[in-house]
Structure formats: C-alpha cells, structure tokens
Amino acid sequence: MPDETAAPLEAHVAAHFARLALAHVSREFPHKLDHIMLNAADVQSPSALHPVLFGSFDWHSCVHGYWLMATVRRLFPALDESARITTAFDTYFTDERMAVEATYARHASRGSFERPYGWAWVLMLAAELERHDTAEGRRWAATLAPLVACVVERFLMFLPKATYPVRVGTHYNTAFALRLALEYADSASTPDAQALGALARETARRWYAGDHDCQAWEPGGDDFLSSALIEAECMRWVLSPEAFHDWFAEFLPRLSQGEPSTLFTPAEVTDRSDAKIAHLDGLNLSRAWCWRALAGTMAVGDMRRTLAVDAADRHVAASLPWVTGDYMGEHWLATFALLALAPMRQA
C-alpha cells in the first residue's frame, strides 16, 4: 500500500527550488553579516570573509541552499538544473576557498559563530553529500570536511556545558540542531561522528526525556520552527520506536482530540516583506515536515495519524505558494519546502 504520509516531490517543483537556490547562493547583497570584528583588518566584504558561503543573505541560508541543491541533484540527476548545480559546487567548493571558511570558524573568538543553527546545517549538508554515490559528491564531501570537523569539534565542546535546552522557534532552538546533527552522525563512520551521535542522544535525553503534557504556546511572532513538534521529531530520532511511542503519548497526550489546537492551525503571515514575519511561512513548512515524520510512527487507523497527515497537508498548502515573491523569504524558504516534500529520511 502507498504511504499516506508521503507528499510527493515532483520534478518540476524540485527544478523550481533548485533555480531559486542557484540564484541566491552566489548573490552577495543584500547581506546580513554575523561577524565579530577584532580589528580594522576585519572590516571586509561578505565574499572576502566567506568565499564559499557569502550568498543567500546570510551564512546559514547559504549552507542550506547548497543542501537543497545537493538534494535535488541526487533525487533528479536528469534535470537541466542538475548540471548547473554541478557547476556551482565545482566553482565554489574548492579546497582553497573552504580553508578560509574553516579558518574563520575555528578562530578562538568565534566559538559561538552560527551556534547551533549554522552548525547543524553544515552537518546536514555533509550527511546529504554522504548519500551521493558519484565522484563529484565524494569530491565535494572531501572539500567540506575541514569545516565539518570544526563544527563537530564545536558541538563536542558545547553540549556538555549546555545545562539547559533552548526552546524558542528560531535559530537558537537546540532540538532542531540535535536532530540535524544526528542525521550526520548516523550517516558518517568516523570516530568523531560516532562520539557526536552518542553525545547528542545523551544530551537530548537529559534535556527532553522528562517533558510531558506540552502546552505548545506557539507560534511566536517570528517563529519558523515549532518548539513542540521539533522536540518530538528530535526524540523520534533519539529513542527506540517503543520508547518513543511511550514518550510521545506523554508529551502530547490529547493529540487524538486535536489538542493543542494551535499545532493543527497554519500560521497567518501578514507581511512577507518583513523578514521576521516571513518566518511564519517557514513555520508552516517545517511543521509539515515534522507532522509527516511523526505520522510515520503511528499505526494505520490511529486517529492521530489521520490528524497529523491532514495537518501536514494544510500547512504545506498555506505556505508553499509563497516560497517566491520577496527576497526576505525567497532566500531560504525553498529549503523548508523541500524538507516538507522530499522523501523521508528515517532514524
């Protein structure tokens, strides 16, 4: 039987997403720079500071723009856009350019640079490139490796001292970061990746295992993540299916009654030219991604599964038409649309 949780990604939609990413990963301005200047020599342009990841309005969006392109190229290698993706990677993913990125990230004064959201997307990109059974994919993965090693090291240093999780619906959310980091850790075979996987699971249990009866007081006015659903998606990746079933039943105990109702209601976006309000389209798309993944843990015939699939469909319908239109959303929303529509990756 077909999987009713699936939302098919059609080739023409993937091509559209790829064209968006191709247009913005090499677009330097406008740019929101996350940069601590230590002296006058640090007053430089985005492309001088980040010769690979200078586009897409900000560093982390450029990282996941490359993730989007790599994913589309793997899923739809015959697209015309796939050849352009190869050219883009070959142009910017060079050892010399990436060495500048890694040196910047490793600087002692930049220990919190892009923590944890940008870190997580670097690892998600690495996990995607691990799936590429091509000479190009292996070459790009090798080029990215120094930056990946830096991020893994940063995570290994940070997680043990992070006493508390961050539960906001924006870049600082720690459940989202752990979820993406675990996808990398479970796809790589290096000792550091295995150490990260063990630490990430230990940390997630420490932060979230005791959570129950989640009230889901969301959305906030600039959320692009559901603090409730992304925590559940993180724990889906952390726990065994049996343990997750028990934990999830305690975490959202009234889900079969459609409660908390806010989780089933797509967010309203009043001004898509406002960078913060435009985040709410991302919330709708990332909720759809989480709902689909969570629905897959529920038995056919379970009322919660039906509600989850329906909620995923309604959230996609609310924001997929708005992936393009204004650069404040256009530079990043296709990534979250791809998460919502691409074939699911299982824990």
- Looking at residue 196, what is its pLDDT? 98
| pLDDT higher than threshold 60 for residue 3 | no
Residue range 302-312: average pLDDT?
97
Q: Identify whether the C-beta of residue 170 lies closer than 8 Å to the C-beta of residue 279.
A: yes
- How far apart CA 20 and CA 28 sit, in angstroms, is 14
**Measured CA distances, 27 to 11, 23, 30, 54, 101 (Å):** 25, 7, 8, 8, 17
Residue range 190-216: average pLDDT?
98
51 assigned to some structural domain: yes
2 assigned to some structural domain: no
- How far apart CA 231 and CA 289 sit, in angstroms, is 13
Does one domain contain both 341 and 258?
yes
Domain termination residue (choose one: 186, 208, 230): 208
42 assigned to some structural domain: no
Secondary structure class of 319 (helix, strand, coil): helix
Instruction: List, for residues 253-298, the tens digit of each pLDDT value.
Output: 999 999 999 999 999 999 999 999 999 999 999 999 999 999 999 9
Residue range 192-214: average pLDDT?
98
The structural domain count of the chain equals 2
| pLDDT higher than threshold 70 for residue 6 | no
Domain termination residue (choose one: 161, 182, 208): 208
Give me 183's structure tokens: 């996808």
Report CA torsion sign: 274, 37, 27, 115: negative
Please tell me the number of Cα atoms within 13 Å of 145 on its side-chain side: 12
Does one domain contain both 165 and 225?
no
Domain termination residue (choose one: 159, 180, 208): 208
Instruction: List, for residues 120-163, the tens digit of each pLDDT value.
Output: 999 999 999 999 999 999 999 999 999 999 999 999 999 999 99
Q: Exposed, middle or buried, 263 (CB in 10 Å: 0-12/13-18/19+)?
A: buried
Does one domain contain both 137 and 80?
yes
Instruction: List, for residues 18-37, the tens digit of each pLDDT value.
Output: 999 999 999 999 999 999 99
Give me 210's structure tokens: 């005791």
Does one domain contain both 218 and 266?
yes
Mean pLDDT of the residues in the chain: 96
3 assigned to some structural domain: no
* Residue 112: how many other CB atoms lie within 10 Å: 12
Q: Which range of residues forms the domain containing residue 315?
A: 210-347
Does one domain contain both 57 and 202?
yes
Does one domain contain both 269 and 288?
yes
Instruction: List the single range of 1-15, 165-179, 182-196 with lowest mean pLDDT.
Output: 1-15
Instruction: List, for residues 43-93, the tens digit of each pLDDT value.
Output: 999 999 999 999 999 999 999 999 999 999 999 999 999 999 999 999 999
| pLDDT higher than threshold 50 for residue 1 | no
Does one domain contain both 224 and 193?
no
- Please identify which residue in the block is written with the tokens 């960078």: 275
Does one domain contain both 291 and 333?
yes
279 assigned to some structural domain: yes
DSSP string computed for 83-135: HHHHHHHHHH--HHHHHHHHHHHH-GGGTTTTTTHHHHHHHHHHHHHHT--SH
Does one domain contain both 242 and 295?
yes
317 assigned to some structural domain: yes
- Looking at residue 345, what is its pLDDT? 76
Instruction: List, for residues 213-262, the tens digit of each pLDDT value.
Output: 999 999 999 999 999 999 999 999 999 999 999 999 999 999 999 999 99
Does one domain contain both 203 and 237?
no
Report CA torsion sign: 225, 309, 264, 347: negative
Does one domain contain both 291 and 185?
no
38 assigned to some structural domain: no
| pLDDT higher than threshold 80 for residue 167 | yes
